[in-house]
Amino acid sequence: SFLILQTFDFLELIVGVGFYLFEAFVRLLVQPAWKDVEGEIVLVTGAAQGLGKLIAEELGHLGATLVLWDVNREALEKTAKELRSTLDVRVYAYACDCSRRTEVYRTAELVKREVGDVSILVNNAGVVTGKYTFTEAPDNLVDRTLRVNIAAHFWTYKAFLPDMISRNHGHLVCIACHGGLFAMNGLADYCASKFAAIGFAESIALELRVLQKEGIKTTIVCPYLINTTMFQGCQTKWPSFLPVMDKKAAAKRIVDAILREKMYLLLPSSLYLLMALKRYTFSQVVYMQSPSKQNCLCIEVFKSK
């Protein structure tokens, strides 16, 4: 009977894999329609500038209420004022250091009282320090990287996910990086934080599926280099195959993935090929995609992507 049970489980696995492969193939051919986000409350961390600001702007054009978080109060207020003048939606701004658990919880309670329940959470805030090897990197900068790039996701999910679960409605967006898929020289702490962010987002997606909360979606974004201040000065070895992306184009692709409820988005599309090759030619693929650094990645404070 044990052998029969094992055989049944194996056949169930094969059928399940076949079904999901077929489903994935169909999704490639038939793009799902955009969902309506008008009136949804969207919270974007690291929204004062760069990619976070552009993602918020794109969603604002579609009628979403915007809640902007950033550690840089001055830049945040400037962005909020600009978006209020160009968008016909409500825009709220809250200075918040997402790496500090108590500050996240306190600010989240303010948002719930003053704005309402967040239904789309975009974890975009990030920090990178790239002028040191791992053994030379100051401990405080390594700690900062881990607290901002991964621990902050724990606290924002803890703050907003329970309400999404109770309503079975929401969307969790993790803006990771290709550094969460491939190792990069000189960025051990950064890559570790991004690998962790992807694993965390995937695990939460699985939890929600087991809980049968199909109304809560998860999108994981892994871009290569984007022309924002975070990677200012970085160059790509293969500009035709792995180009440095324009931040406006990247924001549009990310918002499209959110609206189509895609679970994964790799930018540019050539990263999908590299992921397929990674298993068989690890060192060569990792070396090939690693960006060149020329006086870049010297950031020791929060930078919105």
- What pLDDT sits at residue 298? 35
Q: CA 280, 262, 63: angle at the middle one, nearest 5?
A: 150
Tokens 């040191």 correspond to 132
Q: With 50 as the cut, is the pLDDT of residue 60 above it?
A: yes
How far apart are alpha carbons 126 and 205 in whole angstroms? 21
Greater confidence (165 vs 133) lies with 165
Residue 42: the pLDDT is 98
The model's confidence at residue 294, banded by pLDDT at 50, 70 and 90, is: very low
Return the number of other C-beta atoms located less than 10 Å from residue 243's C-beta.
15
Span of 82-86, 156-160, 222-226, 234-238 with lowest mean pLDDT: 234-238
pLDDT number for residue 191: 93
**Is the peptide bond preceding residue 268 cis, with omega within 30 degrees of 0?**
yes
CATH superfamily of 38-293: NAD(P)-binding Rossmann-like Domain (3.40.50.720)
Give pLDDT, residue 194. Answer: 96
Question: What residue ranges do the domains of the chain occupy?
Answer: 38-293
- 101: its two tokens: 């658990």
Distance in angstroms (rounded) separating the CA atoms of residues 76 and 67: 11
Distance CA 51, CA 57 (A): 10
Using the predicted structure, report yes or no on whether residue 299 has a pLDDT greater than 70. no
Q: Give the model's pLDDT for residue 8.
A: 72
Mean pLDDT across the chain, nearest whole number?
A: 87
Q: For residue 300, is pLDDT > 60?
A: no
Of the candidates 167, 154, 278, the one whose C-alpha atom is nearest the C-alpha of residue 214 is 167
Residue 292 has pLDDT above 70, yes or no: no
Instruction: Label residue 297 by pLDDT band (50, 70, 90).
Output: very low
- Of 212, 223, 210, 129, the residue nearest 173 (C-alpha): 223
- The pLDDT-based confidence of 7 (bands split at 50, 70, 90) is confident
Query: Does the pLDDT at position 172 exceed 70?
Result: yes
Closest to 224 in 3D by CA, of 202, 196, 208, 246: 246
Rounded CA-CA distance 64/45 in Å is 15
| pLDDT digits 0-9 by tens, 129-138 | 777 888 898 9
The confidence score (pLDDT) of residue 68 equals 98
pLDDT (mean) for 67-82: 97
Contact 270, 285 (CB under 8 A): no
Of the given ranges (79-93, 113-127, 164-178, 291-305), which has the lowest mean pLDDT? 291-305
Distance CA 52, CA 119 (A): 17
* Pick from 57, 144, 158: nearest CA to 107: 158
pLDDT of 45 > 80? The answer is: yes
Which range, of 60-69, 113-122, 134-143, averages the lowest pLDDT? 134-143
Using CA atoms, how far residue 256 sits from 28, 36, 53, 174, 261, in Å, is 14, 12, 16, 14, 8
Residue 81 has pLDDT above 70, yes or no: yes
Least confident of 86-100, 111-125, 143-157, 226-240: 226-240
Catalytic residues: 190
Q: What is the pLDDT of residues 251-285, one digit of tens each?
A: 999 999 999 999 999 998 888 888 777 765 555 55
In terms of pLDDT, which residue wins out, 62 or 6? 62
Q: How far apart are CA 258 and CA 203, in angstroms?
A: 19
